[in-house]
Amino acid sequence: ASDTANKDLSIGYGVRGYPTLKIITNHGTSVRNYKGPRHAEGIVSYLKTQTGPPSKEITSKEFGTTFVDEYKNVIVGVFPNFDSEEYTNFTAVADEMRSEYVFMHTSDATFLPLKDVALVPPAVRLFKEFDNGFSDTKEFYVEALKDFVEE
């Protein structure tokens, strides 16, 4: 949008300079700053990661181990079923933070790499490259999950 021709639009979305890219989802109710590469192929690749479900399901031990090893820092929710309030809150946070973090979920904790500490669902494990390699939480309020991911 041109700042002169679409001033209200620019102000409404907080555009302060050009070029500015925004990711707008949920019929305009969710707006995120674009944080990906600035070349055509990179933009397309990045936007593909931003479409579809915000969290991908881990369906096997091999996939879980490979994915965690590949991304190093990944947030995995483990749920007994996917129709709970905990899962709904997890996916809401994943949708909001997907441009900065990788989210996965599973119903089977044995699909995750062993870290010498059993994970009893519902729970969220943040796999990371520092400290002891992971952190866990059982807090599922949206703000508590966001704080956990950002710490």
| pLDDT at position 126 | 94
User: How much is the average pLDDT of 31-58?
Assistant: 86
User: How much is the average pLDDT of 136-141?
Assistant: 96
The CB-side HSE value for 15 (13 A sphere, CA atoms) comes to 20
Give the separation between CA 34 and CA 144, rounded to whole angstroms: 24
Per-residue model confidence as pLDDT tens digits over 95-119: 989 888 999 999 999 999 876 788 8
Per-residue model confidence as pLDDT tens digits over 71-91: 878 999 999 999 999 999 999
User: pLDDT over 70 for what percent of the chain?
Assistant: 97
User: How much is the average pLDDT of 50-54?
Assistant: 85
Q: What does R_g of the chain's alpha carbons equal in angstroms?
A: 18
Per-residue model confidence as pLDDT tens digits over 40-51: 998 888 888 778
The CB-side HSE value for 54 (13 A sphere, CA atoms) comes to 19
Most confident of the ranges 10-14, 113-117, 147-151: 147-151
What is the per-residue DSSP string for 17-76?
SSS--EEEEGGGTEEEE--S-SSHHHHHHHHHHTSS-SSEEP-SHHHHHHHHHHHSSEEE
Both tokens of 98, joined, read 């997907």
Both tokens of 82, joined, read 């996917």
